[in-house]
Structure 1
């Protein structure tokens, strides 16, 4: 008989014994596996505590590294370039720059774009003629054009296209060109402006069904053609490179945004100052570094305090964990670790040179006298320790955070999390097997109890029959 059916019958009839056999079977099956389940619960709680402890330490390191990086990249420790003449350029630095020192800047010419105004039309709605316009890009010197090897821009012009349609097609070409229709005193013209830089000059070739074959006129596609050799006033501005002296060294740039300068410096040129050089300097960061080191020590103490509690030899969730031991070793040597391997003799190279001190109890403190001495004697070198480059304070903490978070290394916090998570999953598998075994035992007991209860019920029925028969006999005798 099906177990559920048997259980239902027993429950409905009350059973021959009067005992709830279904509940009895469930209670007995649960009691059979209760010690094993309790042991699994205890082990699971311990593993979850270990995972939580390792995750807490790992996250503290990650948050410390992230906050430090943000402060150096865009916070109060980010380089602050300044320029004496704001009319000449604005200055900035690339992310992660180790910008320092001072420079001179003298701009003699800004980068310019070619501007071309076409022959005159009567209106922007005039048809330009069917054909094809080809813009070629390169350099123009006098009446000569040198193709720069760039892919030309080819526009197919329909017989119904107007001057305004051509302007729209040029703007939408994705080649960095601007084009518009301008109404002037001498007629309506198509104005085309290229990008800055002499190599971005352009010519216009025109071919197709409406070509004049001679002297073009409005309505013929070659009326829009242009090259420097045949220019008759259409060229309004020539493309050219910016020219400037940087620390007295002559340089050029195709655009007014100048990169590739020392230490990630970026210039956005906006004016000229030939004969009157201006200075580019960087703000002093002494106060910010002092503040940073105070916060740095505080963050390290938060991590060290959590480590001492979570990995305490007696009662700590990670008392004998290899990842916790690795972090403790790393923190113990942090102050003496060389973070600037390329530092010149006499320049600061360790966190200890910035005043970091680790006590015997594992806590950190700041030696302000040593920090002040470093900032007084080597301010530029101290500033260079706070970048997001491959060396320095941030790189050291970031490297520690990444190493401790690695799940592939069993000797790290990440490795511990992986190991404990795997063990926890194994316990869950074991718990599922016990649950299956418990249910199987319960079902067997229900079947066995159902059969026993049926026999008890039969015995009780026989007994009641005998009682009734004897009572009948006694009644007849009377």
Structure 2
């Protein structure tokens, strides 16, 4: 009996004690760790995919936006030129590229304005009184009446009031060694003549003498008459009221600087061939940086530890497929050169691009205007798509709400929430499991204590029997 009781006690750990807290902790850990490891491993991969997709989209946006910004500068739209800027100079207007160049321009006559001068008053200054009353200016667009009172009764006050009236006539005070006078100037153009009438309240000699209705007087004289600018453009005669002409050639401003009848000014457009060559090199380099990053992210590898984080993600495969079509997509529906492939941009087996600089140089030399229009068309009337617009279209299609990339992002965002919920549920389950084990082992200790009490009683009885038998 003694040996049997000792065996039971030894197997139960009686006498040495059972560390139930440590035992429960070990059992909970053994149950938790494999499940938690699996969840956190999936969670880490999912987080990496979310980050990699966001990075891919950000890189695509940066690439497309940078391309649009660069192509909007004058370095890639061409530069207008005049071979004699002393006669006429040219500059680009926004919204498109000039058409119809080169052109031959002759400036027959500049546009001028009516200029009137009042008589000089010896000893007067800008603050000298001119008298009170009214001054009325009449132009082709209407009449403006200006009141002269104590607040503006001076040369300077009158000039300021005229300039603030928006009558189409400006005034300035001129003071020199002979004295002070007013100079009036209208707008350029034959239809922009003007007249002045006055009504002096106090008989002021200066104000009363400022009237002019087409005839010079002792107090008001004209030094310039209004006339239109006259030009010929490619042999066709034109007249304009201003010396800055915006509508003779689309998207080109012509500033007339002096008349020179009989002199031909050549207006041309220099195509941005060197700029486009550099741009396409940078485009290929930037594109390859993006594509190599996508290739790394989608690499198959030999197992999960060596494959790319986006391997098998259909949205990224679709993204690469759409990007790879850039070189073969028509940028222009007309002309010799219609695609990037036509001017030397080819696609390698891994999806990266290569640039045949000799072929590009030949295309730029053969048809610089056609290549420029294909890559960077200007104006709403152009039929060409252009590289920037194509890139924006591809980007928009890749990032559309119901596209593979967005659906993949939504799926991985949902998985992130699911993995967080799984970890939370695992915590709850392990807490319940720990409570259950604790109760089980607490009950076991209670039973063990009862068993020990029974064992002690039996041991006493056995000892008593042994003592009795000995006697």
Query: TM-score scaled by structure 2?
Result: 0.69
Correspondence for 1:20: none
Q: Are positions 1:419 and 2:410 aligned together?
A: yes
| 1:457-468 alignment, distance < 5 Å | none
Correspondence for 1:84: 83
Correspondence for 2:188: 196
| 1:438-453 alignment, distance < 5 Å | none
Correspondence for 1:170: 162
Higher mean displacement: 99-108 or 349-358: 99-108
Shift in Å at residue 430 of structure 1?
A: 5.2
| 1:341-380 alignment, distance < 5 Å | 341=333, 343-344=334-335, 347-380=336-369
Q: Are positions 1:53 and 2:42 aligned together?
A: no
Distance of 1:168 and 1:153 partners within structure 2: 14
Shift in Å at residue 424 of structure 1?
A: 7.7
Distance of 1:371 and 1:364 partners within structure 2: 14
Correspondence for 1:148: 141
Distance of 1:154 and 1:426 partners within structure 2: 75
Conservation of the 8 A alpha-carbon contact between 2:131 and 2:204: no
Distance of 1:132 and 1:33 partners within structure 2: 98
Of 320, 323, 332, 1:328 maps to 320
Shift in Å at residue 317 of structure 1?
A: 3.4
Correspondence for 2:148: 157
Of 256, 262, 267, 1:275 maps to 262
Shift in Å at residue 63 of structure 1?
A: 3.2
Shift in Å at residue 156 of structure 1?
A: 3.4
Higher mean displacement: 228-237 or 102-111: 228-237
Distance of 1:278 and 1:386 partners within structure 2: 30
Instruction: Give CA-to-partner distance per residue, 1:222-248, whole Å, 9 cap, x none.
Output: 543433367774332233332211222
Shift in Å at residue 400 of structure 1?
A: 2.4
Query: TM-score scaled by structure 1?
Result: 0.68
Conservation of the 8 A alpha-carbon contact between 1:357 and 1:366: yes
Q: Are positions 1:399 and 2:393 aligned together?
A: yes
Structure of larger gyration radius: 2
SS in structure 1 at match of 2:238: strand
Instruction: Give CA-to-partner distance per residue, 1:15-34, whole Å, 9 cap, x none.
Output: xxxxxxxxxxxxxx999999
Conservation of the 8 A alpha-carbon contact between 2:43 and 2:416: no
SS in structure 2 at match of 1:92: strand
Instruction: Give CA-to-partner distance per residue, 1:137-196, whole Å, 9 cap, x none.
Output: 3xxxxxxxxx236xx545333234222111123334566754221236775322223343
| 1:242-281 alignment, distance < 5 Å | 242-281=229-268
Distance of 1:34 and 1:238 partners within structure 2: 98
- Alpha carbons of 1:219 and 1:282: their partners in 2 closer, same or farther (altered >3 Å)? closer
Conservation of the 8 A alpha-carbon contact between 1:112 and 1:196: yes
Distance of 2:32 and 2:114 partners within structure 1: 87
Q: Are positions 1:110 and 2:97 aligned together?
A: no
Distance of 1:275 and 1:36 partners within structure 2: 93
Shift in Å at residue 106 of structure 1?
A: 0.9
Distance of 1:269 and 1:128 partners within structure 2: 38
- Alpha carbons of 1:290 and 1:168: their partners in 2 closer, same or farther (altered >3 Å)? same
| 1:177-188 alignment, distance < 5 Å | 178-183=170-175, 187-188=179-180
- Alpha carbons of 1:427 and 1:84: their partners in 2 closer, same or farther (altered >3 Å)? same
Conservation of the 8 A alpha-carbon contact between 2:331 and 2:386: yes
Distance of 2:409 and 2:81 partners within structure 1: 49
* Unaligned runs of at least 5 residues, structure 1: 1-28, 138-146, 446-478
SS in structure 1 at match of 2:247: coil
**Number of equivalences:** 402
Conservation of the 8 A alpha-carbon contact between 1:97 and 1:387: no
Conservation of the 8 A alpha-carbon contact between 2:79 and 2:270: yes
Distance of 1:136 and 1:33 partners within structure 2: 95
